[in-house]
Each structure stands twice: as structure tokens, then as C-alpha cells.
């Protein structure tokens, strides 16, 4: 399918439809604790101190111990966004990052041969299946960089080597934002092995990427951080994002449905291109693409098969995706253009894009702008003005009221033990009270995590364990720690001093 420049044609409108939906969902999402709040605190510390902290200052259990803050630039950005515009600007930034990511995925699908409608559908499917990875965390900044890497490699396979020189700057930025900076090396490594373009140019770009990965405060130590994180027992055993995906969520169902249907899609594509009734009758369309894509890769594609490089991407990132939830969004970004290349010249592809009128350019641009502007009414701080039952700006497990109550009572004695999500929020909202544990999994040994689980479930000896730690305050989530709440209520040593719809605070008498 002949590619056209992105001008205000109907193609722009088909791009605008999924983007408008994605933008709306992103703006509606509440900000959940996860890692977000301690990153905000870290960003503020970096801004005030003019240096990246090298020791823990957020807990009393590991205060002063060495701590590596790899994603320091993300922390500064989160803090800056919060200082400049609170929840409103922070949520807008998330939406814009996701818009950029999925625009790049749509463009990559187009380069893979899909028309604007099919590309829009595949982009929307990838977005919905990966929406459980849209939390307010540093990987948000990684998504557009991954999309741009994919697009650059797609252009390289079309003979446009100049796109490869985007890769070193991408890595230089990425290595300071998030540990996923290693992913473009996997993509490029597979492309070098699988071929499909100028390998010499790609090897030169890879050398530039390796040098660029050293442009961070720890130099080659950034690679050591990634290796340690991938092998850290606490992260692997207890982090929800490291666990394999399941079909418990609708995103998981959509992910596995697409994955299981993919072999059938490969077979259908091959059959369609061999069948005279289903294949393209216009040979000029095929010959036109041959001039844009390297010869061997195009011959493989013309036969309805994925190239060797594409299979390496599919198998490598697919294995990662079924191994851990955190990898699903990367795999989906690859699965969409792979599906596009398989469907493009089948009856399905022709059905979706059988009519591609240009429309009126000015009107197209106006409607596209409107599609992206309408979701702004859903921004936190805006939606409350017209929506009586608007979703909360912060998730329900963010203990705002309980923290405010505790902040007004600095005289309450002793150390604090809090629910894990509550602890993340407390790090930023109440810095004068260090926490017992938080979501920086690599900082805490497995034994402490086991003890956290035992205490939260009110296992025998929970009160003695707290006493040994000098804990005199409990801030519990009534939904996440119902057994511990009940045990504290029945204990003669603990007095309830605060309760709201979700949080409860106990003081040791």
C-alpha cells in the first residue's frame, strides 16, 4: 500500500479517533500511589540539594544505607509537574506521553502496510490491552522513546538509514529516565541478526547507542543497576508487575486472545496471498513497495510471512510479556505492526481501507483538533466543575485525610508502620515520619518483606514483631489489612484514634 505524507486527509481523522479515546481514558485515570509519591519526594530532594541522593532517607529501618536512584530525571519531572500544576498538569502529561506513544505505533502500522483504518483499529487494541501499564510511574516517559525506536527501525528496513541516528540520542535521554533503556538494544540486536536493512549502518548506530548509555551519573553502573533489578529476589517474588499476566482482568483477556489468534493470523495471511481470490490483483502496488523495502524482506512479506527480524521480536518480547506484566505494553507495541503487515494485503485489510477519500483538508484538521481537545474537559480540576460524580483525582487507597490528621499531631509517640501504598504517599506528604517499608523493593531484604506480609495478615506474633521495631503507630487500610485491623481492635494494647471510609490509625497505649 502506497504511503502518503501525514497531511490533513481522512487518514488524520482515523488517527484522531483512537487517540481521542486513549486521551480521554488517560485523563480519567486516578493517580494511584504505586511508586509515584516517593518519586515526587526524590525529585524535590534533587532540586533542593542539587545532587542525586545516594542513601536512603525515607525509612527508619534502612536510614543511611546505600540506595541507587536510577530514574532520577523522571523524579525531577514528576516533581516539576506537580509544583507547576498539581494533579491537573501531571495527568495532562500522562495523556500527552500516551498520545505520542500510540501516534508512533499508528505510524509504524502504516509503514508496515496497513491503511489508516486498520492501523487505527490495531493501535486501539494495543492501547486497551496495555492500559494496565498506564500508572503514574517513570516508564511513562519510556513509552514514546520505545515507539520512536520501533519507527526508526521500520524506516531503516525501508532503506532510510538516516533514521538510525535518532537512536543514540534516544538512549542518552532514556538511560536517565528509566531502566528500560536496555530495550532498544534488544530491538537493534535482533535486527542485526535478522537483517532487513543496511547492517553496517545499524552496527554504527549500535556503537553510538552503547556510548550514549554511559551518559548518566553512574556511567556503566547503569547496566549494573538493570542486571541487579532483573535478579533481585524481593522484586521478582513480591512485585505484582513481575508476575505473569493472567486472564483475571479484561486487559489480560484481550492480550491472550490476540496472542492466541496470532498463529491463525499468520496462516490466514499466507493463504490469502497464495489464493488468487484473496490476493491483490494489482502488481504495481507490490512492485512499488519493493523499491521502499529491502529485497529479501519484501519477498518474505509478499509471501505472507514475517521476516526473521520480526519473528525474533515476536518471540523475544512475547516471552518477556508472558513472564511479567510489566513487559506486556512493549510486546503489544510490536504485535500491532506485525499484525498490520500480515493483514495489509488480505481481504481484511482491503475491507477496512477500501475507501480512502481525502476529504476537505481544513475540515479534517479542525475535526482532528477537536477530537484531541474534547477530552481536556475530563482533566482533574476541570471535570469537577461540570460532573457531580467525577472520578477522584487520587485513587481511593491514597490516605489524604488520615495523613492530614496525623500531620496535625506530631506529639504522637513512636515509629509508624503503615500499609505499603500508604507508606508511598506518606514519604512525600509527611516526610517528618519515616516509614517502615515502601515499594523500592531492591532496598529491602526478602526477610523484611516476609515480615511485612506476616504482620499485615496478623500472623501469630505480629504484635511482638512490631514491639521489636519500636512501632507505636499503625496506619492501616481496612480493605487490604482486615485481619490486622480486627486484631488491633481486639488487642488490649492498641487504641483506635482515627477512622475514615478506608483508613484507620491505632496508637499503642
What integer pLDDT is reported at residue 237 of this predicted model? 74
Binned average pLDDT, 10 residues per bin, the chain of 509 residues = 56 94 98 95 98 97 96 98 98 99 98 94 98 96 98 96 98 98 98 95 98 98 92 77 90 97 90 57 39 50 76 97 95 97 85 73 91 98 96 97 97 93 98 96 92 96 95 97 97 95 95
Q: In what order do the strands lie in the sheet with 415-418?
A: 415-418, 471-477, 503-508, 494-499
User: How do strand 503-508 and strand 494-499 relate by DSSP bridges?
Assistant: antiparallel
Residues 154 and 282 in one domain: yes
Residues 405 and 273 in one domain: no
Grid cell listed for 333: 507495541
Decide: 78 and 43 in contact? Cβ < 8 Å. yes
* C-alpha closest to that of 38 among 466, 441, 477, 491: 441
Grid cell listed for 50: 542539587
- The verdict on residue 23 lying in a domain is no
Residues 338 and 462 in one domain: no
- The verdict on residue 162 lying in a domain is yes
What integer pLDDT is reported at residue 288 of this predicted model? 42
* Number of domains present in the structure of the chain: 2
Of 296, 327, 358, which residue sits at a domain end? 358
Residue listed under C-alpha cell 490476493: 279
Grid cell listed for 33: 500511589
User: What 3-state class would DSSP assign to 148?
Assistant: helix
Cα separation, 392 vs 395, in Å, equals 6
Per-residue H/E/C for 107-122: HHHHHCCCCHHHHHHH
What integer pLDDT is reported at residue 52 of this predicted model? 98
Residues 439 and 493 in one domain: yes
- The verdict on residue 435 lying in a domain is yes
Residues 353 and 455 in one domain: no
Alpha helix (H) residue ranges in 344-389: 347-352, 361-373
Grid cell listed for 341: 503487515
Host domain of residue 430: 400-508
Residues 105 and 202 in one domain: yes
Residues 210 and 323 in one domain: yes
What integer pLDDT is reported at residue 280 of this predicted model? 41
Strand partners, 416: 473
Strand partners, 418: 475
Strand partners, 471: 415
- The verdict on residue 364 lying in a domain is no
- With a CB cutoff of 8 Å and minimum separation 6, the contacts of 19 are 99, 102, 103, 106, 371, 372
Grid cell listed for 106: 499508528
Residues 430 and 335 in one domain: no
Decide: 435 and 426 in contact? Cβ < 8 Å. yes
DSSP letter for 413, please.
Answer: -
Residues 123 and 176 in one domain: yes
What integer pLDDT is reported at residue 236 of this predicted model? 75
- The verdict on residue 88 lying in a domain is no
Residues 433 and 318 in one domain: no
Grid cell listed for 91: 495527568
Of 307, 334, 358, which residue sits at a domain end? 358
> How far is residue 355 from each of residues 10, 18, 478, measured CA to CA in Å?
10, 19, 56
Of 358, 377, 411, which residue sits at a domain end? 358
Residue 159 backbone class (left: φ over 0; alpha: ψ -120 to 50; beta: rest)? left
Cα separation, 397 vs 404, in Å, equals 15
Helices 167-177 and 139-157: crossing angle in degrees, nearest 10, is 160
Residues 163 and 269 in one domain: yes
- The verdict on residue 117 lying in a domain is yes
Residue listed under C-alpha cell 530525571: 73
What integer pLDDT is reported at residue 278 of this predicted model? 46
Residue listed under C-alpha cell 549494573: 224
- The verdict on residue 125 lying in a domain is yes
* C-alpha closest to that of 507 among 433, 406, 419, 398: 406
Residues 354 and 409 in one domain: no
Predicted TM-score (pTM) of this structure = 0.92
- The verdict on residue 178 lying in a domain is yes
Amino acid at each position: 500500500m502506497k504511503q502518503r505524507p501525514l497531511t490533513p486527509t481522512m487518514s488524520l481523522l482515523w488517527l484522531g479517533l483512537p487517540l481521542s479515546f486513549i486521551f480521554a481514558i488517560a485523563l480519567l485515570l486516578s493517580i494511584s500511589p504505586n511508586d509515584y509519591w516517593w518519586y515526587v519526594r526524590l525529585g524535590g530532594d534533587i532540586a533542593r540539594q542539587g545532587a542525586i541522593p545516594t542513601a536512603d532517607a525515607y525509612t527508619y529501618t534502612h536510614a543511611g544505607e546505600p540506595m541507587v536512584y536510577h530514574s532520577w530525571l523522571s523524579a525531577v519531572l514528576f516533581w516539576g509537574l506537580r509544583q507547576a500544576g498539581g494533579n491537573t498538569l501531571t495527568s495532562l502529561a500522562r495523556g500527552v506521553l500516551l498520545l505520542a506513544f500510540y501516534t508512533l505505533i499508528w505510524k509504524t502500522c502504516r509503514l508496515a502496510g496497513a491503511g489508516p483504518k486498520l492501523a487505527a483499529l490495531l493501535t486501539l487494541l494495543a492501547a486497551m490491552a496495555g492500559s494496565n501499564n498506564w500508572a503514574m510511574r517513570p516508564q511513562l516517559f519510556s513509552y514514546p522513546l520505545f515507539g520512536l525506536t520501533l519507527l526508526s527501525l521500520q524506516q531503516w528496513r525501508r532503506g532510510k538509514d538516516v533514521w538510525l541516528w535518532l537512536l543514540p540520542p534516544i538512549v542518552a535521554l532514556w538511560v536517565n529516565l528509566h531502566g528500560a533503556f536496555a530495550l532498544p538494544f534488544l530491538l537493534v540486536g535482533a535486527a542485526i541478526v535478522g537483517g532487513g536493512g543496511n547492517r553496517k549502518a545499524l552496527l554504527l548506530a549500535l556503537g553510538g547507542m552503547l556510548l550514549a548509555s554511559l551518559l548518566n551519573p553512574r556511567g556503566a553502573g547503569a547496566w549494573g543497576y538493570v542486571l541487579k533489578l532483573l535478579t533481585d529476589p524481593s522484586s521478582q517474588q513480591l512485585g505484582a508487575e513481575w508476575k505473569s499476566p493472567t486472564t483475571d482482568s479484561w486487559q489480560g483477556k484481550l492480550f491472550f486472545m490476540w496472542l492466541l489468534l496470532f498463529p491463525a493470523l499468520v496462516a490466514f495471511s499466507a493463504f490469502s496471498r497464495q489464493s488468487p481470490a484473496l490476493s491483490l490483483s494489482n502488481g504495481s502496488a507490490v512492485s512499488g513497495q519493493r523499491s521502499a523495502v529491502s529485497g529479501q524482506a519484501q519477498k518474505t512479506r509478499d509471501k505472507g510471512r514475517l521476516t526473521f527480524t520480526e519473528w525474533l521480536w515476536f518471540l523475544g518480547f512475547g516471552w518477556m510479556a508472558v513472564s511479567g506484566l510489566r513487559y506486556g505494553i512493549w510486546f503489544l507495541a510490536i504485535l500491532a505492526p506485525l499484525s498490520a503487515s500480515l493483514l495489509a494485503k488480505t481481504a481484511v485489510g482491503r475491507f477496512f481501507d477500501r475507501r480512502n477519500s481525502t476529504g476537505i483538508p481544513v475540515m479534517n484538521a479542525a475535526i482532528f483538533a477537536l477530537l484531541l481537545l474534547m477530552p481536556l474537559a475530563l482533566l482533574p480540576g476541570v471535570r469537577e466543575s461540570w460532573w457531580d460524580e467525577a472520578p477522584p483525582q487520587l485513587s481511593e487507597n491514597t490516605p489524604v485525610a488520615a495523613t492530614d490528621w496525623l500531620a496535625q499531631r506530631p506529639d504522637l509517640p513512636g515509629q509508624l508502620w503503615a500499609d505499603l501504598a500508604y507508606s508511598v504517599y506518606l514519604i512525600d506528604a509527611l516526610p517528618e515520619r519515616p516509614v517502615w517499608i515502601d515499594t523500592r523493593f531492591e532496598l529491602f531484604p526478602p526477610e523484611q518483606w516476609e515480615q511485612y506480609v506476616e504482620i499485615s495478615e496478623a500472623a501469630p506474633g505480629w504484635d511482638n514483631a512490631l514491639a521489636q521495631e519500636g512501632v507505636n503507630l499503625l496506619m492501616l487500610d481496612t480493605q487490604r489489612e482486615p485481619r490486622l485491623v480486627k486484631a488491633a481492635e481486639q488487642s488490649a494494647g492498641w487504641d483506635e484514634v482515627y477512622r475514615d471510609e478506608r483508613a484507620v490509625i491505632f496508637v499503642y497505649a
